[in-house]
Amino acid sequence: MIHMLVRGRRASDAQALILRMVRKSGISRVEVADSLVSTYSSCSSSSLVFDLFVRTYVQAKKLREGFEAFQVFRSKGFCVSINACNSLLGGLVKVGWIDLAWVVYGEVVSSGIQLNVYTLNIMVNALCKARKIDSIKFFLSDMEEKGVFSDIVT
């Protein structure tokens, strides 16, 4: 159903359905993520489904669940967009789960997803929150090597 709604450009309806599942007790998020992966091909779906799934968890402030879904998708060979990754990273940093944000960042980098200036700013914020000001210079240098440059927000 979620695949069909996304394919039919009804993302808000798909998100509402995901939210109902997120809030319903007894439904395993890993099972739902696995179900989305296993039905992906047969539904001629779009990878936007995975983005929407992760972003919905972040918007519902269920960050651990969003992280688990992100991991399920990665383990099955599917990548979410940098926008969904940034949403998850930003949510984790906002609540102070800095270590988990760095784990996600590492997985994003290793999966080859193209980073952007939003990623850079989120992770600089993570370094600031962790009071690792000395590490910012090295991080910025590393990001420049990846072709991502700081902006006025940084």
Element holding 104 (H helix, E strand): helix 98-110
Q: Report pLDDT digits (tens) over 77-86.
A: 887 899 999 9
What pLDDT score does 108 carry? 94
pLDDT given at position 48: 76
Residue of 24, 20, 74 whose CA lies nearest to 47: 74
- DSSP H/E element including 124: helix 117-129
- Residue entry with tokens 């688990």: 68
**Cα Rg, the chain, nearest whole Å:** 16
pTM of the model: 0.83
Cα 154 from Cα 141, distance rounded (Å): 13
Residue ranges covered by each domain of the chain? 1-80, 82-154
98-142: per-residue pLDDT in tens? 999 999 999 999 988 999 999 999 999 999 999 999 999 999 999
